[in-house]
């Protein structure tokens, strides 16, 4: 049989049309949380108060779902702009979560030879977006105490001249809010070679500082810097709203690769409603910060456990045996994230989301019993 007749008689697998690198990838794993206390994904533990739930229901019921998203998305952009208060001359674009914005940035910067650079361990989407877009990713290890390795970062920027440097401020999964003076120098170096810097502020509601203050203090040094935020950790993880701020000319270009109707009218209306009640969410964030301090202190009392200082709504913890702790806690109905195989610096580390006082007590008891 010649190859030509084989082609005519044997059905070809449709899978053969899928990129080979995609076929050999692992899918992003969302852990099954049925019946478990969910402390693995940095979700805000607080629901909306019942009265606001009812009010939101009425608002969503009145939304014109027969129309494509229009004015309400512009209203949301204006409300977020007021909320974050970037300097004059900056504008804002929306993503279906920051995850979409990270993908769009890789798409927008995909010129021959472009690469993406970030400290590691860090947020997995930076590397994944590069890989999917066919860009090189350069991970620069943090120091042993999870600080930026300034010399290594500067050397890597000089060597690779990346299109984008991502700095998560604070970082996930370590919770570290990196030294501002070091960041200033990395921003200057990246600007000098004509690259972009994305400050990823997913955990801004829980952090002592925001880079937007540095931007406002010196806008002339931040023309190549973008500040990315999300409403996910704020308390709307299910709603999927991320936003990217930067110089209007730069945002105008990146916004061209965005699918025109990427934000659902229901998501936009829900986010608008949440911003109208920003005081409720601010009180929740304060509670989470207070709980973080209590949890950190309690973790410090456990023998063999090292907790790392965090400015996010999670705490990275090194334990004697991460696999044992993970499965022991799961057997006690508490789901956490075992990050120990993500990077050598995270050897035997697990990540705990900060919950309510009751949830944290249950999590601590499960951890203690699983050590």
Ligand X SMILES: *Cc1c(COP(=O)(O)O)cnc(C)c1O
User: Based on CB atoms, which residue is closest to ligand X, 230 or 360?
Assistant: 230
Q: What is the spatial distance between Cα 144 and Cα 126, in angstroms, rounded to a whole number?
A: 21
User: Based on CB atoms, which residue is closest to ligand X, 125 or 187?
Assistant: 125
Point out the residue whose Cβ comes nearest to ligand X. 97
- What tokens appear for 105 in the block? 């940035």
Min separation Cβ 125 and ligand X, Å: 6
User: Based on CB atoms, which residue is closest to ligand X, 44 or 172?
Assistant: 172
User: Based on CB atoms, which residue is closest to ligand X, 172 or 338?
Assistant: 172
Total Cβ atoms within 10 A of residue 177: 20
Min separation Cβ 210 and ligand X, Å: 14
Min separation Cβ 338 and ligand X, Å: 16
User: Based on CB atoms, which residue is closest to ligand X, 160 or 240?
Assistant: 240
Min separation Cβ 335 and ligand X, Å: 17
User: Based on CB atoms, which residue is closest to ligand X, 99 or 359?
Assistant: 99
Min separation Cβ 236 and ligand X, Å: 9
- HEC string of the chain equals CCHHHHHHHCCCCHHHHCCHHHHCCCCCCCCCCCCCEECCCCCCCCCCCHHHHHHHHHHHHCCCCCCCCCHHHHHHHHHHHHHHCCCCCEEEEEECCHHHHHHHHHHHCCCCCCEEEEEECCCHHHHHHHHHHCCEEEEEECCCCCCCCHHHHHHHHHHHCCCEEEEECCCCCCCCCCCHHHHHHHHHHHHHCCCEEEEECCCHHHCCCCHHHHHHHCHHHCCCEEEEEECHHHHHCCCCCEEEEEEHHHHHHHHHHCCCCCCCHHHHHHHHHHHHCHHHHHHHHHHHHHHHHHHHHHHHCCCCCEECCCCCCEEEEECCCHHHHHHHHHHCCEECEECCCCCHHHCCEEEEECCCHHHHHHHHHHHHHHC
User: Based on CB atoms, which residue is closest to ligand X, 172 or 311?
Assistant: 172
Min separation Cβ 123 and ligand X, Å: 4
Min separation Cβ 239 and ligand X, Å: 9
User: Based on CB atoms, which residue is closest to ligand X, 129 or 340?
Assistant: 129
**Residues near ligand X, by CB under 6 A:** 97-99, 123, 168, 172, 200, 202, 230, 232, 237, 242
Min separation Cβ 354 and ligand X, Å: 14
User: Based on CB atoms, which residue is closest to ligand X, 242 or 366?
Assistant: 242
Min separation Cβ 87 and ligand X, Å: 22
Q: What is the spatial distance between Cα 362 and Cα 355, in angstroms, rounded to a whole number?
A: 10
Q: What is the spatial distance between Cα 251 and Cα 226, in angstroms, rounded to a whole number?
A: 9
């Amino acid at each position: 049989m010649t190859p030509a007749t084989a082609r005519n008689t044997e059905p070809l697998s449709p899978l053969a049309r899928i990129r080979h690198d995609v076929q050999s990838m692992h899918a992003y794993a969302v852990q099954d949380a049925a019946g478990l206390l969910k402390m693995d994904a940095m979700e805000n533990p607080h629901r909306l108060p019942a009265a606001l739930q009812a009010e939101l229901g009425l608002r969503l019921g009145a939304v014109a779902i027969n129309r494509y998203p229009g004015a309400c998305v512009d209203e949301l952009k204006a409300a977020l702009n007021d909320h974050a208060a970037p300097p004059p001359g900056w504008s804002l674009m929306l993503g279906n979560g920051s995850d979409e914005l990270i993908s769009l940035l890789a798409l927008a910067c995909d010129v021959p030879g472009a690469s993406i650079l970030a400290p590691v361990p860090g947020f997995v989407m930076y590397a994944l977006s590069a890989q999917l877009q066919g860009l090189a990713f350069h991970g620069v290890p943090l120091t042993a105490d999870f600080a930026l390795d300034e010399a290594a970062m500067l050397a890597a920027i000089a060597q690779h001249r990346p299109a984008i440097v991502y700095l998560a401020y604070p970082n996930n999964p370590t919770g570290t809010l990196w030294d501002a003076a070091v960041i200033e120098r990395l921003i200057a170096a990246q600007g000098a070679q004509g690259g972009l810097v994305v400050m990823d502020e997913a955990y801004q509601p829980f952090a002592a500082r925001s880079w937007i203050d540095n931007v406002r203090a010196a806008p002339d040094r931040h023309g190549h810097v973008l500040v990315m935020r999300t409403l996910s950790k704020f308390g709307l993880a299910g709603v999927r709203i991320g936003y990217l701020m930067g110089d209007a000319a730069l945002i105008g270009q990146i916004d061209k690769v965005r699918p025109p109707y990427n934000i659902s009218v229901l998501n936009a209306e829900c986010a608008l409603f949440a911003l109208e009640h920003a005081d409720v969410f601010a009180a929740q964030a304060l509670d989470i910060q207070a709980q973080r301090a209590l949890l950190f202190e309690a973790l410090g009392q456990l023998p063999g456990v090292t907790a790392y200082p965090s400015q996010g709504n999670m705490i990275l913890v090194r334990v004697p045996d991460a696999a044992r702790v993970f499965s022991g806690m799961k057997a006690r109905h508490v789901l956490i994230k075992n990050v120990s195989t993500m990077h050598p610096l995270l050897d035997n580390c697990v990540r705990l989301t900060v919950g309510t006082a009751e949830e944290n007590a249950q999590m601590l008891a499960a951890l203690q019993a699983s050590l």
